[in-house]
Amino acid sequence: MVGREFAFGEGEEREEVSRLWWYRTTPLFASICLYLASQAYGPPIAPLGPSWAVWPGASDLAVLCVIGSIAFLGSQLTSLFPTLPNRWLVRSFGVVVAYCTASFFIQTILIGGDNDDAAKGIIFGGFSMYRMVQFFIVVWGAALLPMNAFRKRCLYWIGLVSLVIVCVSICLTYFSAASPALFVPQLPHSRVSGAWLNYMDAAGEGLGTIGYNHGYVAAQVLVLAAVVIHLSKPGLFGTVFAILAILLSVIACFFTGSRMGLISMLLFAGILLDRIPRSLRVGGLLVGILILGAFAAAIPWGELSEGASNSDTDLYSRQKAIFHAFNRESLSGRDDIWKEHLTVLNDQPLRWVVGGGLGAAAEIGGDAHNQVLEIITELGVIGLIIWGRWLVGLIKSLWRYEQNGRVIWWSCICLLVSCVSQETLYPVAAMGHLLGFFVFTCVLAMGGASPQQLPGKDEENAVALSEVNTL
């Protein structure tokens, strides 16, 4: 039922309806492809807007295309039926967006507007709300999209090319073969660019074409790899490319310098490699290692190593700290940040219940570097319950209905592991479009929409709907 095919009438009538709906949804499919491709480039495409945090990027342009495509469908939207799990996902995510919006207008603006640091909260809270609305539009558009084998292959190759671009750019920027500034010639090299100025000046760091936050870069690699592996075909050919994606992603995450990102990627890689049949695993690993070895042999490592960063003793020493992840030195000051946020919450006990409003973390001095604490700081325990309810439902829904294995389900678990030290699945400026991109992949994993509910499936639909409602 989840992977419903078009079914309406019989014979020529059925084929005519199918052709008509593939044609009508082509603009929406093109915009979804553009959104996936845009995940290979995170910086703004132009310095337009009141703040560097809201400068439009390639993903923002793709969202506009999704809006235009949905508008193009117009009244025909009522004839498109997302799969039941996706219908639940869109509605439940809409509840999260609605609560965040209410928190921003009531807590951040109306109640907290008199604080000395309220301006920061309003700016960053407004950004977060803007992002959440964008994410909802993308998720809604993806849920409305009918899928077939051709469209899945298109998305597969777009995802694969994007993953390769990101991973190669990470290696290039780490070895200083290319400066991050080379990827953003359109941005002013001044304080006006905010955090993007740090990105431009980050010589010898594995940031690639994604952004200024190491954790975001590593998480983006993981989600791109998950998309590619989920959409890959079974058999030796698909297994080889899946293993290549895993190996390349592990190497790239190592060079990002994100310790939690590397932990999540290693966990993800180990789980997926273990799930590959042994007969294919050995052959796929050998072919993958040979291909990567051939590329590595062609790289002038001697010249590149001269430009590698020596600022953090060396990357190996930094990443080796993952074996002592909760030592004070390994936390890099996060324990002090956690104490600061807890102090603010304890000084104003009402914040434990309703939070300080979307964007309130900026008023304290910055993000909490822990997703649970960040949510409580901004949305309170009520917000944490709403977010938790949605995430638990998403995990259960992926487990029951994900097509082609449970790759996206495992990527969700690994991303949640990284939430211990960063806001991986929360709309903060440092994480760009990561949350929206991940929920977008979840929608793709649970099947495409149909232009007509299957006749004679009322009983099956009712059973499936009751299962989803229990999430």
Conformation bin of residue 187: beta by default, left when phi > 0, alpha when psi is -120 to 50 = beta
Phi-psi region of 240 (alpha: psi -120 to 50; beta: other; left: phi over 0): alpha
Query: Please, which residues have CB within 8 angstroms of residue 185's CB and are 6 or more apart in sequence?
Result: none
**pLDDT over threshold 80, residue 330:** no
Q: Which residues contact 8 (CB under 8 A, 6 or more apart)?
A: 14, 17, 18, 451, 452, 455
pLDDT at 41: 97
Per-residue pLDDT for 50 more than 50?
A: yes
Q: How many CB atoms lie within 10 A of CB 111?
A: 15
Contacts of 103 (CB under 8 A, 6+ apart): 354, 355, 357, 358, 378, 379, 383
The whole-chain average pLDDT of the chain stands at 83
Q: Is the pLDDT of residue 352 over 80?
A: yes
Residue 143: per-residue pLDDT: 93
The DSSP annotation for 83-104 comes to -HHHHHHHHHHHHHHHHHHHHI
What mean pLDDT comes out for the span 282-288?
67
What's this model's pTM, rounded to 2 decimal places?
A: 0.87
Regarding predicted confidence, which is higher, 303 or 118?
118
Confidence at residue 162, expressed as pLDDT on a 0 to 100 scale: 97
Tens of pLDDT, residue by residue over 376-410, are 999 999 999 999 999 999 999 999 999 878 999 99
Average pLDDT, integer, range 125-136: 93
Model confidence at 119, pLDDT cuts 50, 70, 90, reads confident
Is residue 424 scored above 50 in pLDDT?
A: yes
Q: Any residues with CB less than 8 A from the CB of 222 and at least 6 apart, and which?
A: 249, 253, 261, 264, 265, 268, 411, 414, 415
Residue among 164, 176, 150, 296 nearest 221 (CA): 164
Distance, CA of 446 to CA of 2 (rounded, Å): 7
* Buried-state track 114-143, b at ≥16 Cβ within 10 A, e below 16: eeeebebbbbbbbbbbebbebbbbbbbbbb
Q: What percent of the chain has pLDDT over 70?
A: 79
Q: For 427-449, write each residue's pLDDT tens digit.
A: 998 899 999 999 999 999 998 87
Burial class (CB in 10 A: 0-12, 13-18, 19+), 458: exposed
- Examine the pLDDT at 170 and tell me if it is beyond 90: yes
For position 239, what pLDDT does the model report?
Answer: 80
pLDDT at residue 421 tops 90: no
Instruction: Give 456's pLDDT tier (boundaries 50, 70, 90).
Output: very low
b/e per residue 358-378 (b: at least 16 CB within 10 A): bbbbbbbeebbbbbebbbbbb
The residue among 431, 448, 390, 315 whose CA lies nearest residue 53 is 431
Beta bridge partners of 44: 57
Q: Rounded to whole angstroms, how far apart are CA atoms 259 and 323?
A: 10
pLDDT band at 117 (very low <50, low <70, confident <90, very high): low
Cα separation, 433 vs 36, in Å, equals 11
Nearest to 412, CA basis, from 176, 244, 230: 230
Place of tokens 């709403």: 386
Stretch 215-244: mean pLDDT: 89
The pLDDT value recorded for residue 299 is: 53
Q: What is the pLDDT of residue 458?
A: 41
pLDDT in tens, 291-325: 666 655 555 544 445 555 444 446 555 555 555 55
How many C-beta neighbours within 10 Å does residue 178 have?
17
Q: Is the pLDDT of residue 121 over 70?
A: yes
Q: Is the pLDDT of residue 460 over 60?
A: no
Q: Residue 214, class by beta-carbon neighbours within 10 Å (0-12 exposed, 13-18 middle, 19+ buried)?
A: buried
Token pair 């923002």 is found at 60
Tell me: pLDDT of 1 over 70. Answer: no
pLDDT at 123: 85
Average pLDDT of the segment spanning 221-232? 95
